[in-house]
C-alpha cells in the first residue's frame, strides 16, 4: 500500500500551506510549522502535503509513527463496531476501567515488558510518564529513608504549603544533552537546548556530563572507554555525594539509551552497566527514558536490550511510537497507596487498542529484522557519503535505523534539510549540527536506497 517514490509539485511549503499558515498565525505561534499535511492521502513511508507533494518521511512526526501512515491494520480496527465505544467514551481509567483493560494491557504492554518488570502504568504522554515516574521514585526513596511509610504530623502539615520535610529536597540526576520532556519536573532534567529552558524556574538538581564519543565506536574503543570512565567515576559519583551533603539527596538517575534531541549521542553498553551499578551502590533508582528509543527503531524493541542486562532499571518510560505514554516499574517502585499516582484519564484506552495492532504488525511482518537490515544499509550508506564528502559530513552513527550524521555547521545542516525536502525527503535536525534519521519500522532497504540517491544529489550541489 506504499507509494513508489516521492513526487514533488511545488517547493515546500507550497502556496496552500502558506495560506493555511497565515490563517493559523492569527490563533497560534506558527514559527515551528513546516507545512500542512493531507493525512488522508499519506500512506506508509510517504507523507503528502496540502499542495500535493509526496515526501519520503524519515522524521515521522518527531519519531512517533510506528508503522507508517494509514496502515490497513489500523484502519480496519476503526471499522470494527465493537471498538467505537472505546473512542467515544474516554474513561477515568484509575477508577472506572473498561472490562477489557487488563486483557488489552496484558496483550500489548506486558507482552513487551523489559526484563524484570511486571508492572506498567499508562499515562497520556511522555511528559506525564516521566513526571509520575519521578513521583514514584520520590515516594519510594522517602519510604526507604523513613524505614516505614507513616509520615509524621510535621510532614503532613508542611507538604500542604510546599515546605520540607513534607515536600523534601530530593533530586534527580540527569545528563547534559539529555531530553526528558518540558513540564517543570521533566524540564529540570532536560539539558538539550537553551530555548527549552530559558526563563522557566527550575530545581537545583545535579547535571553530569554525557560522554562525547568518537565514531565509529569500534575504531575508538580505547579512547571512548576512557572518556566514559571520566564521566562516571570522576563526575557522577562525585555529584551524588555532593548533593547528599547539600541536603538534596539524589533519589534517581534518568538517562536515555541514546541522547536523541540532544544530538544522537551514543555510549557503550559498558557505560550503562557501570552507571546502573553506581545507582545501585548509592541507593538511587535507575530510570531509563525510552520515549524516543523505544518501539523497535534500534533493531530491538527497547534500546536498553543492547546492554544485555537482566535487571536493567527500576523504571523504563515510553511514549511516541508506543502511541500511549507510560512507564514500567519494578514492584518496589509501585506507590504504596492509591491516589498518589493519579490523574483524571491515566492514559487513553483508544491508544492501547491501536498499540495491540501495531505489535501484531511488528511480529507478523518481522519488522525488527527489517529495521536491522535497513539500518545496516543506511549506516553503510552514510559511511560512504562521509568518505565522499569529508568537508561536509562526519560522525555517522546509529543503531538500527536510529541513525545520525553531523554536518559542517548549523547553517549548512539547515540548508541541506530544506534542499532535501524540496526533493521529497523529510528529515529532522537534532543537537547543534546533526541530521537525525527516524523512519517508521516499515522503512525497507529499498527506501534507504531512494534516500541515499537523492541525498547524494543534494550533497553534490553543496
- Residues forming the site for ligand FES (CB under 6 A): 124-125, 127-128, 183
Write the Ramachandran bin of 395: left for phi over 0, alpha for psi from -120 to 50, otherwise beta: left
User: Which residue lies nearer to ligand FES by CB, 127 or 433?
Assistant: 127
Question: Which of its own copies, ligand FES, none does 460 bind, CB closer than 5 to 8 A by kind?
Answer: none
Phi, psi dihedral angles at 130 (to 5 degrees): -70, -40
Size of the site for its own copies (CB under 8 A): 125
CA 94 to chain centre: 25
Nearest approach in angstroms of CB 325 to ligand FES is 6
- Please identify which of the residues 189, 272, 301, 320 carries the catalytic annotation: 320
Examine the residue annotation and report whether 320 is marked as an active-site residue of this protein.
yes
**Quick one: angle between helices 269-281 and 221-229, nearest 10?**
20
**H or E segment and range at residue 221:** helix 221-229
Please select the residue that binds its own copies; options are 52, 166, 209, 216, rule is CB under 8 A.
Answer: 166
Nearest approach in angstroms of CB 91 to ligand FES is 15
| Cis amide leading into 13 (omega within 30) | yes
Binding positions for its own copies, 82-111, rule CB under 8 A: 82, 84-92, 94-99, 101-102, 105-106, 110
Binding positions for its own copies, 117-156, rule CB under 8 A: 118-121, 124-128, 131-132, 134-135, 138-139, 141-143, 151, 155-156
Nearest approach in angstroms of CB 38 to its own copies is 6
User: Which residue lies nearer to its own copies by CB, 207 or 418?
Assistant: 207
Strands 428-430 vs 434-437: parallel, antiparallel or unpaired: antiparallel
Nearest approach in angstroms of CB 102 to its own copies is 4
Please select the residue that binds its own copies; options are 6, 181, 257, 381, rule is CB under 8 A.
Answer: 181
Measure Cα distances from 87 to 105, 121, 348, 358 in Å: 17, 20, 9, 17
Binding positions for its own copies, 324-383, rule CB under 8 A: 334-335, 337-345, 350, 354
Q: Which residues contact 428 (CB under 8 A, 6 or more apart)?
A: 58, 59, 62, 417, 435, 436, 438
User: Which residue lies nearer to its own copies by CB, 110 or 450?
Assistant: 110
Q: Which residues contact 79 (CB under 8 A, 6 or more apart)?
A: none
Nearest approach in angstroms of CB 126 to ligand FES is 7
- Please identify which of the residues 36, 138, 179, 318 carries the catalytic annotation: 179
Nearest approach in angstroms of CB 320 to its own copies is 6
Examine the residue annotation and report whether 210 is marked as an active-site residue of this protein.
no
User: Which residue lies nearer to ligand FES by CB, 95 or 164?
Assistant: 95
Nearest Cα residue to 38 out of 7, 78, 63: 7
Instruction: Using the CB atoms, write b or e for 24-47: b if 16+ within 10 Å.
Output: eeeeeeeeeebbbbeeebbbbbbb
CA 303 to chain centre: 11
- Tell me the C-alpha distance between 214 and 3, whole Å: 38
**Interaction between residue 310 and its own copies (CB under 8 A):** no
Question: Which of its own copies, ligand FES, none does 163 bind, CB closer than 5 to 8 A by kind?
Answer: its own copies
Question: Which of its own copies, ligand FES, none does 323 bind, CB closer than 5 to 8 A by kind?
Answer: its own copies
- Tell me the C-alpha distance between 5 and 60, whole Å: 16
**Interaction between residue 235 and its own copies (CB under 8 A):** no
Please select the residue that binds its own copies; options are 3, 10, 18, 38, rule is CB under 8 A.
Answer: 38
Nearest approach in angstroms of CB 96 to its own copies is 5
Examine the residue annotation and report whether 4 is marked as an active-site residue of this protein.
no
Examine the residue annotation and report whether 150 is marked as an active-site residue of this protein.
no
Q: How many CB atoms lie within 10 A of CB 137?
A: 24
User: Which residue lies nearer to ligand FES by CB, 13 or 347?
Assistant: 347
- Please identify which of the residues 22, 118, 344, 457 carries the catalytic annotation: 344
Q: Which residues contact 401 (CB under 8 A, 6 or more apart)?
A: 297, 299, 371, 374, 375, 378, 437, 438, 439, 443
The number of residues in the chain equals 462
- Tell me the C-alpha distance between 175 and 192, whole Å: 9
Applying CB under 8 A, the span of 4-12, 186-194, 375-383, 448-456 interacting with its own copies comes to: 186-194
Nearest approach in angstroms of CB 29 to its own copies is 6
- Going edge to edge, which strands form the sheet with 393-399? 393-399, 402-407, 434-437, 428-430
**Interaction between residue 204 and its own copies (CB under 8 A):** yes
Nearest Cα residue to 297 out of 443, 395, 434: 443
Catalytic residues: 179, 289, 320, 344
Amino acid at each position: 500500500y506504499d507509494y513508489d517514490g516521492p513526487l514533488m509539485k511545488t517547493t515546500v511549503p507550497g502556496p496552500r500551506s502558506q495560506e493555511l499558515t497565515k490563517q493559523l498565525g492569527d490563533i497560534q505561534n506558527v514559527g515551528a510549522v513546516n507545512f500542512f499535511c493531507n493525512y488522508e492521502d499519506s500512506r506508509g513511508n510517504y507523507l503528502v502535503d496540502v499542495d500535493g507533494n509526496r515526501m519520503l518521511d524519515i522524521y515521522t512526526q518527531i519519531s512517533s509513527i510506528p508503522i507508517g501512515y494509514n496502515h490497513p491494520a489500523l484502519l480496519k480496527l476503526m471499522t470494527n463496531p465493537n471498538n467505537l465505544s472505546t473512542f467515544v467514551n474516554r474513561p477515568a481509567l484509575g477508577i472506572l476501567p473498561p472490562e477489557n483493560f487488563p486483557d488489552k494491557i496484558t496483550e500489548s504492554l506486558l507482552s513487551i515488558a523489559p526484563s524484570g518488570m511486571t508492572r506498567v502504568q499508562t499515562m497520556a504522554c511522555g511528559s506525564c510518564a516521566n513526571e509520575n515516574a519521578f513521583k514514584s521514585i520520590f515516594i519510594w526513596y522517602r519510604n526507604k529513608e523513613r524505614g516505614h511509610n507513616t509520615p509524621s504530623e510535621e510532614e503532613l502539615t508542611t507538604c500542604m504549603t510546599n515546605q520540607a520535610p513534607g515536600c523534601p529536597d530530593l533530586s534527580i540526576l540527569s545528563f547534559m544533552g539529555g531530553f526528558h520532556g518540558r513540564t517543570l519536573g521533566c524540564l529540570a532534567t532536560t539539558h538539550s537546548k537553551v530555548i527549552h529552558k530559558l526563563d522557566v524556574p527550575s530545581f537545583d538538581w545535579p547535571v553530569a556530563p554525557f560522554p562525547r564519543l568518537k565514531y565509529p565506536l569500534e575504531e575508538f574503543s580505547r579512547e571512548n572507554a576512557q572518556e566514559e570512565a571520566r564521566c562516571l567515576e570522576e563526575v557522577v559519583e562525585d555529584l551524588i555525594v555532593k548533593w547528599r551533603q547539600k541536603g538534596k539527596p539524589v533519589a534517581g538517575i534518568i538517562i536515555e539509551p541514546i541522547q536523541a534531541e540532544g544530538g544522537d549521542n551514543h555510549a557503550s553498553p559498558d557505560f550503562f552497566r557501570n552507571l546502573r551499578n553506581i545507582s545501585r551502590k548509592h541507593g538511587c533508582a535507575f530510570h531509563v527514558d525510552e520515549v524516543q528509543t523505544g518501539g523497535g527503531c534500534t533493531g530491538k524493541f527497547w534500546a536498553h536490550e543492547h546492554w544485555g542486562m537482566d535487571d536493567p532499571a527500576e523504571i523504563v518510560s515510553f511514549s511516541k511510537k508506543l502511541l500511549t505514554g507510560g512507564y514500567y516499574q519494578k514492584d518496589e517502585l509501585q506507590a504504596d497507596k492509591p491516589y498518589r499516582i493519579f490523574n483524571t484519564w491515566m492514559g487513553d484506552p483508544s491508544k492501547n487498542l491501536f498499540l495491540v495492532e501495531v505489535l501484531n504488525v511488528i511480529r507478523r511482518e518481522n519488522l525488527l529484522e527489517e529495521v536491522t537490515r535497513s539500518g545496516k544499509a543506511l549506516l553503510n550508506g552514510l559511511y560512504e557519503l562521509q568518505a565522499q564528502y569529508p568537508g561536509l559530513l562526519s560522525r555517522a552513527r546509529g543503531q538500527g535505523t536510529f541513525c545520525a550524521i553531523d554536518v559542517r555547521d548549523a547553517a549548512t545542516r539547515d540548508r541541506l534539510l530544506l534542499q532535501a525536502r524540496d526533493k521529497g525527503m523529510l528529515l529532522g535536525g537534532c543537537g547543534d549540527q546533526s541530521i537525525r534519521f527516524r523512519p517508521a519500522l516499515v522503512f525497507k532497504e529499498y527506501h534507504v536506497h531512494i534516500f541515499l540517491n537523492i541525498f547524494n544529489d543534494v550533497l553534490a550541489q553543496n
